[in-house]
Amino acid sequence: MIVPMKKVSLIIMGEKKAETLKKLRKLGMVHIEITEGSGERLNELKEQIALLESAVYIVGNKKAKDEKDLLPTDALNLAKEIAYLTDEKKDYQAEQITIQAEIERLKSWGDFDPHSLVDLTHKGVDISVYEMPKNEYDALGDNVKTVRLGGNKNSVKCILIKSGTDGEDEILSSLNTYKFELPQMSTEEMKQKLLEIGEKIKAIDEKLLSYESYTIALKNAIKAFEKEIEFEVYATGMGNETLSDDKNLSVAYFKGYIEADNIEKLQTVAKTDSWGLLIEDPTEEDDVPTKLKNNKFVSLIYPLTDFLGAVPGYFEYDISGWFLAFILIFFGIIFGDGGYGLFICAVASIPIIKSLVTKKEVSPTFLLVGLLGLSTVLWGTLTCTWFGLSADQIPLWLQNLSIPVISNVYADRIWHPFWTEGDVGLTTAQNLQIFCFSLALIQLTIAHIKGVKRNIKSLKLLGDVGSILQLFGIYYLVLSLVVNPQVFSFSLVISGIPVGTVAIALIGIGFLLSFVFSNYEGNIIKSILASLTNIVSVLLGVVNVFSDIVSYIRLWAVGLAGAAIAATVNELAGPLLGNFLFMIIAIVLLVFGHGLNMILNVLSVIVHGIRLNTLEFSSHLDMSWSGHKFKPFNEQID
């Protein structure tokens, strides 16, 4: 069920905002509706969280064996140290790259030592180092004194000694582009410097590695600062009004939501602390948060809906129980193989048993996975589908547990309904299709029954009654057009009842009721006019009912595809199992093939199985999943 909420508006003196928020946080019952805050403190907290998140990323996100605890402030100081060490490491790495590039530049000069040239300069010898094309060097002539250091057929490395001869300055000026920039250190010094930097980087890495045991502490600090941000957002995001001409006298106010059962507790606190409190019933214009409350079994669906981010709106339906029931059925049909179901159960049982042994609460996620596995085992048993094996390879006792009309054991048999004659009948595949369409009829009918129940005091319920009649009529139409037009003929008469004629009548009567009453809000004329205004959508609605029912055939089709893949994998691996040398290849092929098939089945459940709940079923409920979770302002750190 969706927990009933009350809208509350709270008015307090402006100077008591922080004090009031602390009391509300301790109370932990009110979902405060404030969209944004501002201020330097808020920006500072965001920067601190960014610093902590960066620290977690740097030291690693894995849980260490010897986790250590820290206060949030100490964790922040640690994050600052980690940031400092990281910046220092980056500086060293940049210096490393620079020196390595310099060594590469000097590579062709051998062990270059610039200090010897500097010494000559101090002694009054004006020299410059050049690397120039050989033809330029040969053209220097005797006016320039040079010492050739090396070279090849294309270039020359040399030292030019300035002697002050006529024209020397002009020649040297023309050679500026070939002048060699002297390094700050010798090649040997640079290599030694690289070793020193390497040791410093290694020391920083070891230091950062030692902080892995603080990962959880850093994450907890992030959560603590997020709570502070929440507090600051509420404190700075509150509405504020100045009273009369006294700018120091003001009131603050905000709107929020609280569970109806907790109203008395809030009223008691408000009375004690002299808060102004207005309590109202929420309207459809309000952005009311949603809190779901169900028994432990139905609550097993929450891990899946949380993963999907699917939250019903406050004024929508809580379909958690139906969602769980149908996803179990859909999952079993899509996976289809009892062997796969056993594997899923085995995987889920490991953490469940571990939790029971350690006397910890069993995670709902693993319980849900276990249920999905059991559903698959059940469907595999009913259809005699095990590990992609053919029916004749399955033990007789398992064959006997299956239901004949949908069992693979009788896949080639024709089933004759009591009203058919001669060779007219249904195949096992067609029986499975009928089962899928029957699931559609049941689930979509449930949707409109919920609509009837909601509108029980209004003629609008006749609109949902009309939709139910259309569903039954179109269901027979689908059986006739998609499954078998001979078995489900429109001329069919059973016990004097013209089934086809009744189906057409149900569609017509259902359409008329929906047309007249689906938009009813107290006035039939206005309801009819609303339908006439949207006549195209109304007519397409009938087509949509047909397509929604047909859509459920995807369960059979995807299950059939998975079974075909499993059988193909077995066929490929089967011949290899008879040869010892190829047995390893066969095992690898079986594991890979069936593993890939299971992954594809998981994707199929997400794409198809969940779609039937959140789209087809939900559209008939007029649900848009537009809600957001009820999150009371409290001290608890998630």
What span, in angstroms and rounded, lies between the C-alpha atoms of 325 and 442?
12
Average pLDDT over residues 348-362: 92
More confident call, 60 vs 385: 385
CA atoms within 13 A on the CB side of 84: 7
Coil/strand/helix, residue 76 = helix
**Is residue 195 very low, low, confident or very high in pLDDT (cuts 50, 70, 90)?**
very high
Lowest mean pLDDT among 161-170, 321-330, 409-418, 536-545: 161-170
Q: Quote the pLDDT of residue 299.
A: 94
- Which of 6-15, 190-199, 227-236 has the highest mean predicted lDDT (pLDDT)? 190-199
Q: Is 590 exposed, middle or buried (0-12, 13-18, 19+ CB in 10 A)?
A: buried
Mean pLDDT of 604-618: 91
Least trusted range by pLDDT, from 164-173, 228-237, 404-413? 164-173
In the block, which residue shows the tokens 């009273």?
A: 243
Length of the chain: 638
Stretch 175-196: mean pLDDT: 88
Q: With pLDDT > 90 as the criterion, what percentage of the chain qualifies?
A: 51
pLDDT value, residue 514: 92
Query: Does the structure show a pLDDT above 70 at 636?
Result: yes
Which residue, 52, 30, 53, 78, is CA-closest to 230? 30
Q: Which of 124-133, 273-282, 415-424 has the highest mean pLDDT?
A: 273-282
Q: Write out the H or E segment, with its range, that includes residue 521.
A: none
Average the pLDDT over 607-612 and give the result: 91
* HEC letters along 298-321: HHHHHHHHHHHCCCCCCCCCCCHH
Percentage of residues of the chain with pLDDT beyond 70: 97
pLDDT of 64 above 70? no
The pLDDT value given to residue 397:
92
Strands (E) across 529-617 are located at none
**Does pLDDT of 576 surpass 90?**
no
Q: Are 10 and 277 in contact (CB under 8 A)?
A: yes
Q: Would residue 550 be called left, alpha or beta, if left means φ above 0 and alpha means ψ between -120 and 50 degrees?
A: alpha
Q: What's residue 317's pLDDT?
A: 92
Burial of 479 per CB tally in 10 Å (0-12, 13-18, 19+) = buried
Express the helix, strand and coil content of the chain in percent, nearest 5 each.
Answer: 65, 10, 25
Backbone angles phi, psi at 425, to 5 degrees: -165, -170
Q: What is the pLDDT of residue 246?
A: 58
Tell me, what's the pLDDT at 474?
96
- Looking at residue 158, its pLDDT comes to 87
Neighbour count for residue 222 (Cβ, 10 Å): 23
Rounded to the nearest 5 degrees, what angle is found at the Cα of 266, between the Cα atoms of 263 and 269? 150
Terminal-residue alpha carbon distance, the chain: 24
Range picked from 102-116, 221-235, 256-270, 528-542 for highest mean pLDDT: 256-270
Q: Is the pLDDT of residue 143 over 80?
A: no
Q: What is the pLDDT of residue 245?
A: 59
- Backbone φ and ψ for 277, nearest 5 degrees, come out as -130, 125
Q: How many Cβ atoms are within 10 Å of 395's Cβ, its own excluded? A: 9
Q: Between residues 83 and 121, which one has the greater pLDDT? A: 83
- Tell me the three state secondary structure of residue 382: helix
Query: What's the CA gap between 386 and 283, in Å, rounded?
Result: 53
Give the per-residue pLDDT at 63.
64
More confident site: 149 or 204: 204
In this model, does residue 248 exceed pLDDT 70?
no
Residue 243: which pLDDT band, with cuts at 50, 70 and 90?
Answer: low
Q: Residues 446-496: pLDDT tens digits?
A: 999 999 999 998 999 999 999 999 999 999 999 999 999 999 999 899 988
Whether the pLDDT of residue 36 is over 90: the answer is: no
Question: Which stretch of DSSP H or E encloses residue 627?
Answer: none
